[in-house]
Amino acid sequence: MSRGQGMAQFLDNLKAAPRRFAESAWRSGTPNTDRSRSSFVFGNVFLHLHPVRTHRWSLRWSTTWGLGIASVSAFLITLVTGVLLMFYYKPYPDVAYDAIKDIHFVVPTGRFIRNLHRWAGNIMAVSVLLHMARTFYTAAYRKPREFNWVVGMVLLVVTLGLAFTGYLLPWDQLAYWAITIGANIAQSPREVTDALGMTAVFDPGGLQKLLLLGSEDVGAEALIRFYLLHVMILPLVLVLLIAVHFWRIRKDGGLTRPEDADRRVGGPAGIHPSFTEAPQKTYHLAAVVRGRTAAVGRGPEGTVPAMPHLFYAEMAALMLTVFVCLLLSLLIDAPLKELANPSVPENPAKAPWYFLGLQELVSFSAFMGGIGIPAIVILGLALIPYLDRETTGTGEWFGGPGGGRLVAGSAVFGLAAVLLVETFAIRLGWIREWWLAAPQILITLVNPGTVLTLIYALYSIWLVRRHQSGRAGALGLFTCFLCGFVVLTIIGTWFRGPNWGFYWSRAHWPGH
Amino acid sequence: MRGTKHLLLWTSLGALLLLGWAAYAENFRQEWRLLQAAYRDRLPADRRAEFQAQLRQIVVPALNSVDRCVTCHLGMSPGDTALPGDRVFGPHPDVSHDPAQFGCTVCHGGQGRATVKADAHGDVRHWPEPMIPRRHAYAGCGACHTHLAIPETASLDRGRALFERHDCLACHRMEGRGGTLRPGGAGGMEGPDLTAAGARGYDRGWYPGHLAHPEEGRTGAGDGRAEAAGAAGSGARRWQASFAPLPAGDPQAIDIYLGSRVGAPGLVEAKALFHSIGCRGCHSIAGVGGDDGPDLTREGQRDPGQLGLTHATGGASPTGGAALTGWLADHFRAPARVVAGSAMPEIGLTDEQIDRLTFYMMSLRRSDYPEALWPKDRIRAERFGEREFATDGPTLYGTYCAACHGRQGEGMRFPGTTAFPAISNSDFLAIASDDFLRQTIRRGRPGRRMPAWGEKEGGLRPDEIDAVIAQVRRIGGGVVARPDPRPARWARGDSAAGARLYADACASCHGATGEGGEGPALHNRVLLEAAGDTYLFETIRRGRRGTSMAAFSDASPVRRTLEDEEIEAIVTHIRTWEVKR
């Protein structure tokens, strides 16, 4: 081999390097056929969580409204903007506040990035809640997706935890007093242990608060804890759980759809290639996946390649979320009040909005509102898939006995009940107003929150008996709690003023 | 699929558009950039090239301040050119402290870190330290300074009047006025600017010294303008022809005035008014004063967001420094209308007085700076216990007593309160010994509005009490107490008869058990201890002219005349309350 040949070879290699780099990165060549697209999807570390083919039922907007993707999109936005904010943020009292002021006034586009972070966080909380409601109402938690529902529950709690820990970081009055409220809720088991006279021996409430704040009050220790939770621990947990959540969607057979989804989405209109024969091979035969799999027993006419159909849908949901976040960030600044001042309590001191429903209950009983009822709700939600073993209505909105009519009726009942109980408590007061010396344990057990929970529970049991169906009871209960949550949150947000008194509008608040 | 594609297309385009707009607006359309562009256009051509459009800030680590005010107020930015006369780009007025060294917010308030006008000036919600409005700008001195030995208004006014009457303004400048007469030609004989004479010190002996030795006195103020000596010979003679020795007492009065000039025009007058109408009788500042009303130590730093602005009319905007000054002015006009249930009476102030008091309130700041940075006056007041006000009789009286007892000791009556006694009454002063007055001021009247000024923290010191007594006698026309040859307790009347007479003649005003009503309370422990029988006896016998207390020994068509024995019986009866307690 002459020297010239070697040189030519080298030049050829050099010329081919970009192409070869692309080949080595993508492996499956240009994804321009269904086959190469499939290879592209399962050969890519980020995309392989997707199925190669997606059922057309799953791609209908009304199936999911894109809420899961919206949640994860909002999370991605907070992730990116959060990292940017970390360049300037300093987690130390007073300095933290100055850092936020500098981000707002001096850092190029800092104000905008902070707004984005705040709005994306709020949108994430909303879309996660809506996503849960969607999953529930389409009965998508049913076998084999029970575990993914439980993972979703944990994701909800972690999401709220992320939002809550982020609330303290600006170190302003809003943050300081919201976290003080939150920490006192964490301490609220003391209400029970005090009533039982055993706080000196056993004080889980005090321990919880101490673990959360690292001190008796919200201070430097609490700030560094919340910072660490907010930027490291909770995001890591969230990313891990999101991975599990996505992976389980795929392994559980994609999104839920009704038995007759194939018939309802119609024939394979213009989708190629169309399959006319029953498949010869399933994953089931290979013992890779247990139970029924997507392809067993019927042709895949209802499916389309994930690339590009699913990706378009996902990207559209992502971009819609991004657009909404950008628009809100341009229009409305994230709040920032005065520097935190432990000697000037905010009145009313309000928790973040997603906890205001709970704070409304907390105003009656700290333990029941802050810990008891939320625990019951989370536990009840987690148990739903294990109690509801029915199959009718899976994948349908409001599927199950009673259907939409039952949900509408439950909404009316749920709204009426929460409004009645609130009106009663606001107009006439509660036990302590009539009987000053009432034992605290009585109020812990009997307060508007527990009464409302009981009413909802009884209503749901009545539904179970009437329809002879656990799903009917679950539909009623979930709807009732959703109505209760919304109404209580609205009351806590807009109708509560100084000393948590009821006011029709802010203009009626007494002057100081 | 088609719909999805459209959604993707339009949301992506929209997001790109919004991102592009945000990047543009956040980087190129900020208020300060537009202002700096306008500034650059107005610069002289040779300066324009070197002007850099960028944020500017004055950082004072010791004060923990980062003041970006100079980003827009470029005339005050070190190294930039001022555009004289411009509202935004003009230079900072000449003041004692260099803004480049002290920063801006330390004096003016506002939000130093902000780069947007509304935020920077504090005219937004959630900023507790808005800028002090321009007309009260010198109130900012109160962030560090307390200013010592402020006299009451009358002394100050007299000093100023004399300063002007004796033509001092001919040569000297004072707060922007005067210095117009220059006998030796322009600049030849100008005297020093006395605007900050009280803070910088001045030679009190200069005027008489110059009269005696005109050739030396010419530079007597330590001005060091020896180079003007050549032209000055004839000027000095002319000076001597125009100026004569001052009448006795005038130099002292002028000294009081000059001593109060600290370079903060208006502020001293405002503070003097506060110490002339007895505000400290109820309010304390830095622990000095009464405690019936709220502590005013940091009144000027109140957060406008925390004020109840519902009933205030002055400050239309609920934010910013104007909200606080408006609230204060409304409050001085009618306290109870702004603060529900306020016990402060309507004092009947003129608009000018209200403005001055508002000015002084705004200066009550005392920011938390490290003590090492405190000016001398604050150290002397807060650590060495020196008074912020003069400790002469008139000022002390104006500081502690005037609100209730009247500026001339005539007594006061406000709606909803009991009447405050007239203390300059000559009938009273004729029988009240200095010792009685001293006891009264020192121990007060327990249970009544009169505090024990000698015993409480923030009260009066013994020599100050003596000065107040002297002042009370002075405004009472110089009446001294008649010496009382009798012992303190001599009344040996029939107390049963005294009780009947008391119920008949006294109870309607002084209460059935001496608890007071229209008239003062008589069963008061301190009163009964301090007052001798002669005092009580003579008060009943001679009454107090000009008050509701009649002379009971005089004949009257509407009540019976009391004989001396009867009065003695009443005094004996009154004394029984002392035993009971």
Domains along chain A? 55-267+275-346 (1.20.810.10), 351-512 (no CATH)
Contacts 24+ apart (CB under 8 A), A290-296: A291/A144, A292/A253, A293/A253, A294/A51, A294/A55, A294/A253, A294/A254
Q: How far apart are CA B1 and CA A303, in angstroms?
A: 13
Least confident of A392-406, B155-169, B208-222, B243-257: B208-222
What pLDDT score was predicted for residue A262? 75
Query: Mean pLDDT, to the nearest integer, of B375-388?
Result: 88
The residue type found at A59 is L
Q: How far apart are CA B258 and CA B172, in angstroms?
A: 12
Looking at the complex, does the CB of residue B496 fall below 8 Å from at least one CB of chain A?
Answer: no
Q: How far apart are CA A468 and CA B86, in angstroms?
A: 83
Per-residue model confidence as pLDDT tens digits over A336-345: 888 888 888 8
Residues of chain A contacting B115 with CB distance shorter than 8 Å: 105-106
Query: Which member of A98, A315, A326 has the closest CB to residue B8?
Result: A315
Q: How far apart are CA B109 and CA B86, in angstroms?
A: 21
Least confident of A50-59, B437-446, B464-473: A50-59
pLDDT at B421 over 70: yes
Please answer yes or no on whether A106 and B116 come within 8 Å at the CB atom: no
Least confident of A126-140, B185-199, B415-429, B482-496: B185-199
Asked if B375 and B263 count as a contact pair (C-beta separation under 8 A), the reply is no
The number of beta carbons lying within 10 Å of the beta carbon of residue A291 is 10
What pLDDT score was predicted for residue B580? 53
Least confident of A374-383, B128-137, B187-196, B297-306: B187-196
Higher pLDDT, residue B293 or B315: B293
Q: How far apart are CA B513 and CA B530, in angstroms?
A: 19
Higher pLDDT, residue B167 or A26: B167
Please answer yes or no on whether A309 and B1 come within 8 Å at the CB atom: yes
Looking at the complex, does the CB of residue B66 fall below 8 Å from at least one CB of chain A?
Answer: yes
Residues of chain A contacting B5 with CB distance shorter than 8 Å: 312, 316
pLDDT at A91 over 90: yes
Distance to chain A for B143, nearest Cα, Å: 19
What pLDDT score was predicted for residue B211? 78
* Residues of chain A in Cβ contact (below 8 Å) with chain B: 59, 61, 98, 101-102, 105-106, 108-109, 111-112, 172-173, 309, 312-313, 315-316, 319-320, 322-323, 326-327, 329-330, 336-338, 344, 511-512
Please answer yes or no on whether B4 and A320 come within 8 Å at the CB atom: no
Distance to chain B for A455, nearest Cα, Å: 42
Query: Mean pLDDT, to the nearest integer, of B68-96?
Result: 89
Q: How far apart are CA B192 and CA B210, in angstroms?
A: 15
Looking at the complex, does the CB of residue B127 fall below 8 Å from at least one CB of chain A?
Answer: yes
Ordered by start, the domain boundaries in chain B are 31-121, 153-220+241-259, 267-382, 393-475, 495-580
Please answer yes or no on whether B113 and A338 come within 8 Å at the CB atom: no
End-to-end CA distance of chain A: 95
Please answer yes or no on whether A106 and B310 come within 8 Å at the CB atom: no
Distance to chain B for A220, nearest Cα, Å: 19
Are B393-475 and B495-580 the same fold in CATH? yes
Higher pLDDT, residue A204 or B356: B356
Residues of chain B contacting A102 with CB distance shorter than 8 Å: 113
What pLDDT score was predicted for residue B474? 92
pLDDT classification of A17: cutoffs 50, 70, 90 = very high
Q: Which two tokens stand for residue B55?
A: 């944020």
pLDDT at A300 over 90: no
Distance to chain A for B305, nearest Cα, Å: 10
Q: How far apart are CA B283 and CA B421, in angstroms?
A: 20
Residues of chain B contacting A173 with CB distance shorter than 8 Å: 126
Residues of chain B contacting A338 with CB distance shorter than 8 Å: 126-128, 303, 305
Please answer yes or no on whether A105 and B14 come within 8 Å at the CB atom: no
Q: How far apart are CA A187 and CA A487, in angstroms?
A: 26
Asked if B526 and B444 count as a contact pair (C-beta separation under 8 A), the reply is yes
* Burial group, residue B241, by CB count within 10 angstroms (0-12, 13-18, 19+): exposed
Place of tokens 């000449």: B94
**ipTM of this complex:** 0.84
Asked if A190 and A183 count as a contact pair (C-beta separation under 8 A), the reply is no
Q: Which two tokens stand for residue A241?
A: 């759980």
| Best-predicted range by mean pLDDT (A111-120, B380-389, B428-437) | A111-120
Q: Reduce the secondary structure of B45-98 to three states and give it as a string.
A: HHHHCCCCCCCCCEEEHHHCEEECHHHCCHHHCCCCCCCCCCCCCCCCCCCCCC
What pLDDT score was predicted for residue A330? 93
Chain A CA closest to residue B120: A105
In this structure, which CATH number among 1.10.8.80, 1.10.357.10, 1.10.760.10, 1.10.150.110 belongs to the domain B393-475?
Answer: 1.10.760.10
What pLDDT score was predicted for residue B313? 52
Higher pLDDT, residue B64 or A159: A159
Q: How far apart are CA A414 and CA A424, in angstroms?
A: 15
pLDDT classification of A296: cutoffs 50, 70, 90 = very low
What pLDDT score was predicted for residue B219? 45
Higher pLDDT, residue B506 or A275: B506
State the best of A60, A69, A106, A328 to mutate against chain B, taking most chain B CBs within 10 Å: A106
Please answer yes or no on whether A108 and B26 come within 8 Å at the CB atom: yes
* Burial group, residue A3, by CB count within 10 angstroms (0-12, 13-18, 19+): exposed
pLDDT at A292 over 70: no
Please answer yes or no on whether A322 and B113 come within 8 Å at the CB atom: no
pLDDT at B195 over 50: yes
For B267-382, give the CATH class: mainly beta
Query: Which member of A106, A319, A338 has the closest CB to residue B8?
Result: A319
What pLDDT score was predicted for residue B226? 40
Least confident of A244-248, A507-511, B63-67, B324-328: A507-511
Asked if B572 and B492 count as a contact pair (C-beta separation under 8 A), the reply is yes
Q: What is the mean pLDDT of chain A?
A: 86
Q: How far apart are CA A58 and CA A317, in angstroms?
A: 14
Omega of the bond prior to A348 within 30 degrees of 0, cis?
A: yes
Residues of chain A contacting B324 with CB distance shorter than 8 Å: none
**Which residues are CB-contacts of A226 (< 8 A; sequence separation ≥ 6)?**
A165, A166, A168, A169, A179
Asked if B69 and B104 count as a contact pair (C-beta separation under 8 A), the reply is yes
Minimal CA–CA distance to B505: which of B559, B557, B574, B551?
A: B559
Distance to chain B for A363, nearest Cα, Å: 24
Dump the DSSP string for B479-515: --PPP--S-S------HHHHHHHHHHHTHHHH-TTS-
The number of beta carbons lying within 10 Å of the beta carbon of residue A506 is 9
Least confident of A53-67, A439-453, B200-214: B200-214
Looking at the complex, does the CB of residue B185 fall below 8 Å from at least one CB of chain A?
Answer: no
End-to-end CA distance of chain B: 98
For B495-580, give the CATH class: mainly alpha
Query: Mean pLDDT, to the nearest integer, of B276-299?
Result: 90
pLDDT classification of B234: cutoffs 50, 70, 90 = low
Distance to chain B for A501, nearest Cα, Å: 18
Residues of chain A contacting B18 with CB distance shorter than 8 Å: 323, 326-327, 330
What pLDDT score was predicted for residue B438? 92
Query: Which member of B27, B127, B307 has the closest CB to residue A108?
Result: B27
What pLDDT score was predicted for residue B223? 43
pLDDT classification of B339: cutoffs 50, 70, 90 = confident
pLDDT classification of A223: cutoffs 50, 70, 90 = very high
On the CB side of B389, CA atoms within 13 Å amount to 33
Query: How distant, in Å, are the alpha carbons of A328, B268, B308, B353, B404 from that of B347?
Result: 52, 21, 21, 11, 10
Please answer yes or no on whether A337 and B12 come within 8 Å at the CB atom: no
Query: Mean pLDDT, to the nearest integer, of B494-519?
Result: 88
Chain B CA closest to residue A56: B1
What pLDDT score was predicted for residue B309? 59
